[in-house]
Amino acid sequence: MAEDLSAHKLALARELLDDIELSRLTPETLLLKGTRLARLTGDTEVQQWLAMELGGYTFADAERSTKFADEVGRWTNREKKLGWWWPLAELEARINALLD
């Protein structure tokens, strides 16, 4: 049973990498698949980060939100606490609207 779960995790990780490299899925779908992998591996920190990417940065947990915002470059002006706090799907939609 444990071998089956390990094989499933490895297969999911490989599939996710292929999806990223080959641009097979939307960014939001990649986040959902990454969330599934994080859940299967028990990585709660990655789960929390991906939840913010999916739902937006609310800063209800300011320390964790700030840490993730630092790590992924969501600040536009850290000193003034300005940045891109919308969910990734909304950021993508805003970018596409500007490009159209």
CA distance 50 to 68: 10
DSSP-based three-state secondary structure for 99: helix
Task: Quote the tokens at residue 36.
Answer: 């599934």
Note the pLDDT of residue 59: 81
CA distance 65 to 82: 13
Cα-only R_g, the chain? 16
Nearest alpha carbon to residue 88 among 45, 48, 39, 55: 55
DSSP-based three-state secondary structure for 25: coil
Note the pLDDT of residue 2: 74
Domain residues of the chain, as ranges?
2-99
The answer to whether 41 and 13 have CB atoms below 8 angstroms apart is no
- Tens of pLDDT, residue by residue, the chain (100 residues): 778 989 999 999 999 999 999 999 999 999 999 999 999 999 999 999 999 999 999 888 889 999 999 999 999 999 998 999 999 999 999 999 999 8
